[in-house]
């Protein structure tokens, strides 16, 4: 079967060379038992690839099971995948076959594979390498012959670096990679997909299909589509149902497109991933510099208030006075005080005793403590996202890995 036939049979729309390449690879590896890892942003159409592979293989008459690893609770996923024996955990009233047993001779699609908990990753690696597994609560080794296709929209290298995903398992799953392009990288297909969905929804809702003006087509093709084909499909459905006019102009269309700045945080965090460490270093540098400057000003003030024992000439006094008035108007970061600073009169060199104003200023510690601020922000972010570190990290603009480190460092693990 060639790419064109596969597209027709599976209802896959598009002529982008990147899409064609992905389909070619799928066709080539289908008859083998090689593991395939499908990557691509959310909504790029990853779910069709394992189906193509299964249908074009000798396994097509056996089971095809799609498992969304991100949707199964951590406590039951081992039992779902590998089965369990009666009484192996609370509520296990009978024994049960897992997907790896049911799909013997067939194909399992592990969607969102990066979400698999560690202990499941260990079991999965074993079944991939030896074809053997053990039901939860059992000690009997069971043999199975399953072909695995996995998919993810995560950056797997990042997941490995942060200790979330086993490197050996990644290489085992990724024997052949298939990468699906983001919709913004296949602009030539956007209008094509629009028309296909417009006709589908016209059928579904029994009304004429919506169509776009030329200007609207331009807008459609230039939009960034952070949610890819899924977002486009939803948009066409909304237009079909909500708009009374069947001709959509660029203004109507624009009102359905979220502004590019409203991207979902996860995409932003991925895009900026490389810049994190550099940005963090930069911040640290700036804060250190600010601290130095503050120390310097403090020193000058000390000299000023405690006296240096040598008479100053008119020029020197003027310089100091200027510095003084600047501090009074703009404040001094570590000495910000509502109380007025003493003024220097001509030729007056020392304000004999240390000025009380500067002795104990409460804000002194706080404004210098980057650490306290950081801790406070991290706490807030974790609370806001109810402990979901992924989202807290995205909001803080740091990597998940850095967040883990900081949680440890600040003892915030209880949040």
Ligand X SMILES: Nc1ncnc2c1ncn2[C@@H]1O[C@H](COP(=O)(O)OP(=O)(O)O)[C@@H](O)[C@H]1O
Instruction: Compute the least distance from the CB of residue 153 to ligand X, in Å.
Output: 7
Binds ligand X (CB under 6 A): choice among 164, 233, 385, 401: 233
Q: List the x/- string, 21-50, binding to ligand X by CB under 6 A.
A: -------------------x-xxxxxxx--
Binds ligand X (CB under 6 A): choice among 3, 12, 267, 368: 12
125 within 8 A of 134, measured Cβ to Cβ: no
Which residue lies nearer to ligand X by CB, 24 or 249? 24
Instruction: Compute the least distance from the CB of residue 88 to ligand X, in Å.
Output: 32
Give 412's contacts (C-beta < 8 A, 6+ positions apart).
Answer: 375, 378, 379, 382, 406
Give 171's contacts (C-beta < 8 A, 6+ positions apart).
Answer: none
Answer yes or no whether residue 121 interacts with ligand X by CB under 6 A.
Answer: no
Cβ-based burial of 245 (10 A; exposed 0-12, middle 13-18, buried ≥19):
exposed
Instruction: Compute the least distance from the CB of residue 51 to ligand X, in Å.
Output: 10
Instruction: Give the start-end residues of each E strand in 253-408.
Output: none
If one counts every other C-beta atom within 10 angstroms of the C-beta of residue 90, the result is 7
Instruction: Compute the least distance from the CB of residue 229 to ligand X, in Å.
Output: 4
Which residue lies nearer to ligand X by CB, 46 or 96? 46
Which residue lies nearer to ligand X by CB, 230 or 291? 230
CA–chain centroid gap for 257, Å, is 21
Site for ligand X in 172-231 (CB under 6 A): 229-230
Looking only at the bridges linking them, the beta strands covering 147-152 and 107-111 are: parallel
Alpha helices in 115-189 (DSSP H): 118-130, 156-161, 167-173
Which residue lies nearer to ligand X by CB, 42 or 399? 42
Instruction: Compute the least distance from the CB of residue 125 to ligand X, in Å.
Output: 24
- Return the residue nearest ligand X (CB atom): 45
Site for ligand X in 245-264 (CB under 6 A): none
Q: Which helix (H) or strand (E) holds 143?
A: strand 141-143
Residues near ligand X, by CB under 6 A: 12-14, 40, 42-48, 229-230, 233
């Amino acid at each position: 079967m060639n790419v064109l036939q596969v597209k027709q049979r599976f209802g896959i729309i598009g002529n982008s060379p990147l899409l064609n390449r992905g389909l070619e690879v799928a066709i080539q590896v289908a008859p083998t038992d090689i593991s395939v890892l499908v990557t691509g942003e959310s909504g790029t159409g990853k779910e069709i690839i394992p189906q193509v592979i299964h249908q074009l293989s000798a396994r097509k008459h056996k089971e095809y099971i799609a498992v969304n690893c991100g949707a199964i609770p951590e406590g039951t996923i081992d039992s779902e995948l590998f089965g369990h024996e009666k009484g192996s955990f609370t509520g296990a009233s009978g024994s049960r076959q897992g997907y790896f047993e049911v799909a013997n001779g067939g194909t399992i699609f592990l969607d969102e594979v990066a979400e698999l908990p560690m202990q499941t990753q260990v079991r999965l690696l074993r079944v991939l390498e030896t074809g053997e597994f053990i039901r939860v609560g059992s000690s009997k080794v069971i043999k199975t012959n399953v072909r695995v296709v996995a998919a993810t929209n995560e950056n797997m290298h990042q997941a490995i670096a942060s200790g979330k995903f086993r490197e050996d398992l990644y290489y085992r799953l990724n024997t052949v990679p298939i990468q699906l392009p983001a919709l913004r990288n296949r602009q030539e297909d956007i209008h094509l997909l629009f028309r296909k969905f417009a006709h589908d929804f016209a059928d579904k809702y029994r009304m004429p299909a919506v169509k776009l003006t030329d200007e609207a087509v331009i807008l459609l093709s230039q939009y960034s589509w952070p949610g890819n084909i899924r977002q486009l499909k939803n948009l066409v459905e909304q237009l079909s149902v909500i708009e009374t006019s069947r001709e959509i102009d660029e203004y109507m269309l624009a009102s359905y497109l979220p502004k590019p700045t409203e991207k979902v945080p996860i995409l932003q965090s991925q895009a900026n991933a490389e810049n994190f460490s550099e940005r963090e270093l930069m911040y640290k540098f700036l804060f250190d510099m600010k601290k130095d400057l503050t120390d310097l000003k403090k020193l000058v003030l000390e000299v000023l208030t405690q006296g240096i024992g040598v008479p100053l000439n008119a020029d020197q006094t003027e310089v100091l006075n200027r510095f003084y008035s600047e501090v009074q108007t703009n404040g001094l970061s570590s000495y910000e005080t509502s109380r007025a600073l003493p003024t220097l009169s001509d030729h007056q060199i020392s304000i004999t005793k240390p000025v009380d104003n500067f002795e104990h200023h409460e804000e002194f510690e706080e404004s210098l403590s980057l650490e306290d601020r950081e801790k406070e922000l991290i706490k807030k972010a974790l609370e806001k996202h109810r402990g979901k570190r992924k989202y807290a990290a995205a909001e803080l603009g740091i990597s998940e890995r850095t967040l883990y480190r900081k949680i440890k460092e600040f003892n915030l693990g209880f949040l």
